[in-house]
A and B are shown apart, each in its own frame.
Chain A
Amino acid sequence: MRFRQIFRLIGILNFFLGLSMLAPLTISLIYSDGSFYPLLYSLAITSGSGITLFSLIQRADYSSLSQREGMAIVTLGWLSAGFFGSLPFLFSGSIGTITDAYFESISGFTTTGASILGNIESLPKGILFWRSLTQWMGGMGIIVLSIAILPFLGVGGMQLYKAEIPSPVVDKLQPRISETAKALWKVYLLITVVEIGLLFVGGMPLFDSICHAFCTMPTGGFSTQNGSIAQYNSAYFDGIITVFMVLAGVNFSLHFRFLRGNFKVFGRDPECRVFVSMLAILVLLTTYNIYGTAYHSITNAFRHAAFQVTSIITTTGFVTANYETWPALSQIILVLCMFIGAMAGSTGGAIKVMRIILLVKHGYREIFRLVHPRAVRSIRLGGKPVPEEVLNSVWGFFIFYMTLFIVAVVIMSFIGLDVVTSFGSVAATIGNVGPGFGLVGPVGNYLSVTDPGKWTLIFCMVLGRLEIYTVIIMLAPAYWRK
């Protein structure tokens, strides 16, 4: 572990994070909403501390970052981004305590979308914009963004990339990692711009269009409205956002290949096929279930089922309906969705469809082996054999995910939350969904959770976003041994 390299890079990250506050600063100037100085101070502190850290440490070589160092940089980078990202909330007085501000900020960067704010609309526009921007940057990854910008990372960039976008299978789109990162960000930016355009054309104010697109594409779920998307009560907006949530839940390398002219790529990808068909089945089941009970028109039932199931399975967390009033089957489906998540390589969270497929195939192989004890059978995905170590790592991930989930649920109930809230809050944060069940359901928020509870959930959000291993490894004694 070379701490010089690690902290110098975190200094650079902070510097750029501070610069990104120029965007909300401009917004606050346009609306003169009183958030100019809080944002300016936050910018100065963030960039200033970054520059200080950067200049205190001598030049360092990044061509040979080890996997451990990459993981440390990413985890510490995210924790520090959460801290500096909370400054605008604190300075503007929008959020009173450090815990709450840190919760909101981490919830933003990890694209969870869990909020402690009750009256969102009362916030200055600049702060609202910053809240959306944290999600947008966190979605494709602050580290991946810096890999795209900073040319000197070279091979070291690969370690950071893998630590921030941990996918069972590494997919490098371009020969160079910095080009890969740039390609992903370009696709991300392009789709975001299209969504802004479509929302704006449909009559959403420009500011709201930008903020909502910034929170759809990273599957974030922060809204500028108290009632989330439901506030607009527009089938057009629901439809557009549903479509873009699905797009955000698809592996971005597929989008990249599609834009490159390979139009069959979605149909050929086995994970994409499973994801889309699973989504369709769950939407139809929910529609069937809520038609006649919660909604009396089939179109309304379909519209809300499609929106809500998509929103939860892609781990976005926008709300158009209070699903807690829906029948049990629909609620169970939504709970399942919280665990399944979107595709690997998308901006969504939770376990991911790819891992679910591999787990199921692995399970089936065990049964097959009971029937044919001498059979040698390799697990294939899209015709290609999956290496055993990938399967092992998927199993490890699943076990860690469930164990940490259970531990966190126990902690939450120990703190004094009811069964549904304990369960719902942890599932919604570790899966980076946002709204859960009970007190933290679609119409509630996380304000009432006590401080220790909030810190537990903050930990869950970071764990979920960095897909367990990157964070949990730092707690392993072997990691620190020389």
Chain B
Amino acid sequence: MKIIIVGAGEVGFNIAQRLSEEGHDVVVIEKDSNKIRHIQNVLDVQAILGSGTNPSTLGEAGIKESDIIVAATDSDEANIVACLYAQYLTDYITKIARVRNPDYMEHKEIFNQDFLNIDLIINPQSEMVASILRLTEVPVASEVIDFVDGRIKLIGITIRDDSPVAGRKLASFPDLEHSVLVGVIVRGEEVIIPKGQDTIQPNDLMYCVTRREEIPHISRLLNLREEGLSRVMIVGGGETGLALATSLDTTAINTKIIEKDGQRCLELAEKLERVVVLHGDGTDRELLMEENVADVDIMVAVTDDEENNVLISLLGKALGAKKTVTRIGKLSYIPLVSAIGIDTVVSPRLSAIRATLQYIRKGKVICVAPLKGEGAEAIEFEALETSDIVNTPLSEVKFPKEAIVGAIVRGEEIIIPRGHNVIKPHDHLIIFALKGAIPKLEKLFTVKLEYF
């Protein structure tokens, strides 16, 4: 596929990188000549100096032969205009725009076919808020990704030193069979697709798939303290903080929100009913202790200042918060903050990248979730009648070594598979795969279709 990406900020750059690594032909349009030079040095893509809102630049980028345009500049308006021009120049192109301003999101209908006709609007903030809310559903997890409308949950769990499962072989959990499958273990820099004889070690980040209703069961089996979520503290009352607080306002969870700006606090208090609005600085130790941070289940640091968020989370952890969620803007900070002990990081840019990639993936791929370190992915595929993998027991399918089927969804039924299970046509599969196996998988699932 040929894909044009407008804007080479962090979002555009990362999307370009992923897509070109996956074998797509990528053309990047960017105004800043320094960024162009950098891209030419590190990515195998065509980089064009110019503006995406200029039809002749789009023409130069070969918009007529392109399949998809992703407008990911910092300006919502530029993104929308780029998509409009793309529509004007070619009828059948798929248009994806990153739109951040919440005002536009209030009337989403203007983006549909009758008017602006943009195929996908990505609002990084709402994507990010959604991912934070998913975390609140499974507090023990450091990451939660939904598949099949949330009926299947992919959860990432960090194994602590005192965990009863540490040091045990995967095969030694007979109870867990049919209800959970460990798909990927991240151990330091290493990403492993584990087999039965592999052992779980302390500090591993373990990704497993399970049915939604079985999460408490698993938590008990793994002897993770599952107390349910009762207290959340949000630091930062900006748009993200407000959106999050609004969602939690209607639940039974005790929520507190801390905001530095007094005027903003008044606004928050007007909009929120049950949530306790506190006027103060999130880095103020006294305030945090006074508000009993030690008993907080999740502390979410979403101020506009990313360095501050890191400090707030570290402080919160030191004062006893069970879990922290930190908002980071710069993607390059993510490996750094993981190294200093921040457990969960959210980023609007990362959310935008994920949402875009999910949409672009070819064939019958329904959903893609990059796992930590980007070395592995969980992918939801639909098994086609024509594919080699259907109607054969899993143990006999020629599957890439670096991939594993985590779950089979057949209508209402969810199967956590073993070797004897058989995939039927139109089953949805959730597959864990290391990066290298992804092109092979895409082939396995789609190649037959292309011959028709």
Contact = CB atoms under 8 A, between A and B. Distances in A.
A387 interface: yes
A174 B25 contact: yes
B252 interface: no
A402 interface: no
A175 B23 CA distance: 11
A173 B62 CA distance: 11
B40 A175 contact: no
Given A172-B40, A173-B46, A175-B45, 14 more contacts: A67-B41, A155-B42, A155-B44, A158-B41, A159-B41, A170-B40, A174-B25, A174-B46, A175-B26, A175-B27, A176-B25, A176-B45, A179-B25, A384-B49
Contacts of B44: 154-155, 157-158, 175-177
B2 A175 contact: yes
Nearest to B4: A175
A167 to B, nearest CB: 12
Contacts of B45: 175-176
B47 interface: yes
A169 to B, nearest CB: 10
Contacts of A387: 33
Contacts of B20: 175-176
A154 B26 CA distance: 13
Interface string A155-170: 1011100000000001
Interface string B23-50: 0011100000100000011111111010
A157 B20 CA distance: 14
A384 B40 CA distance: 19
Contacts of B25: 174-176, 179
B26 A158 contact: no
Interface in A173-192: 173-177, 179
A438 to B, nearest CB: 43
Nearest to A387: B33
A154 B21 CA distance: 9
Contacts of A67: 41
Contacts of A179: 25
When A and B form their complex, which 5 residue pairs have the shortest distance between CB atoms, in order from nearest? A175-B25, A175-B46, A155-B44, A172-B46, A387-B33
Contacts of A172: 40, 46-47
12 contacts: A67-B41, A155-B44, A158-B40, A158-B41, A158-B44, A172-B40, A175-B25, A175-B26, A175-B44, A175-B46, A176-B44, A176-B45
Interface string A375-407: 000000000100100000000000000000000
Nearest to B44: A155
Nearest to B25: A175
Contacts of B47: 172
A156 to B, nearest CB: 9
Nearest to A67: B41
A384 B49 CA distance: 10
A154 B46 CA distance: 13
Contacts of A173: 46
B227 to A, nearest CB: 46
A313 to B, nearest CB: 30
Main secondary structure of the interface of A (DSSP, over half): loop
B93 to A, nearest CB: 16
A182 to B, nearest CB: 13
Interface residues of B, number: 15
B33 A155 contact: no
Contacts of B27: 175
Interface string B326-343: 000000000000000000
Interface in B125-166: none
Nearest to A178: B44
Nearest to A174: B46
B126 to A, nearest CB: 31
A176 B45 CA distance: 6
A175 B44 CA distance: 7
A391 to B, nearest CB: 13
A176 to B, nearest CB: 6
A237 B325 CA distance: 76
A175 B21 CA distance: 12
Contacts of B33: 387
A204 to B, nearest CB: 40
Contacts of A174: 25, 46
A177 B45 CA distance: 8
A254 B58 CA distance: 19
B50 to A, nearest CB: 9
A181 to B, nearest CB: 11
Nearest to B17: A155
Interface in B39-67: 40-47, 49
Interface in A120-175: 154-155, 157-159, 170, 172-175
Max chain B CB contacts within 10 Å: which of A170, A176, A384, A387?
A176
Contacts of A177: 44
Nearest to A177: B44
Nearest to B45: A175
A324 B96 CA distance: 66
B448 to A, nearest CB: 24
A473 to B, nearest CB: 16
Contacts of A158: 40-41, 44
Contacts of A159: 41
A149 to B, nearest CB: 16
B137 to A, nearest CB: 38
Contacts of B46: 172-175
A270 to B, nearest CB: 16
A22 to B, nearest CB: 31
Nearest to A170: B40
A314 to B, nearest CB: 28
Contacts of B26: 175
Nearest to B3: A175
A176 B23 CA distance: 9
Max chain B CB contacts within 10 Å: which of A67, A175, A384?
A175
Interface in B239-292: none
A211 B119 CA distance: 56
Contacts of B40: 158, 170, 172
A341 B168 CA distance: 71
A479 B437 CA distance: 38
A167 B40 CA distance: 14
Interface in B1-22: 2, 20
A262 to B, nearest CB: 11
Nearest to A180: B46
A67 B41 CA distance: 8
A261 to B, nearest CB: 12
A154 B27 CA distance: 15
B403 to A, nearest CB: 21
B27 to A, nearest CB: 5
A71 to B, nearest CB: 13
A387 B43 CA distance: 21
Nearest to A176: B44
A437 to B, nearest CB: 40
A19 to B, nearest CB: 26
Contacts of A170: 40
Max chain B CB contacts within 10 Å: which of A67, A157, A159, A387?
A387
A176 B46 CA distance: 7
A173 B27 CA distance: 11
A387 B20 CA distance: 27
A154 B42 CA distance: 10
B188 to A, nearest CB: 19
Contacts of B42: 155
Interface string A31-70: 0000000000000000000000000000000000001000
Nearest to A159: B41
A398 to B, nearest CB: 21
B35 to A, nearest CB: 12
A245 to B, nearest CB: 30
Contacts of B41: 67, 158-159
A158 B20 CA distance: 14
Contacts of A154: 44
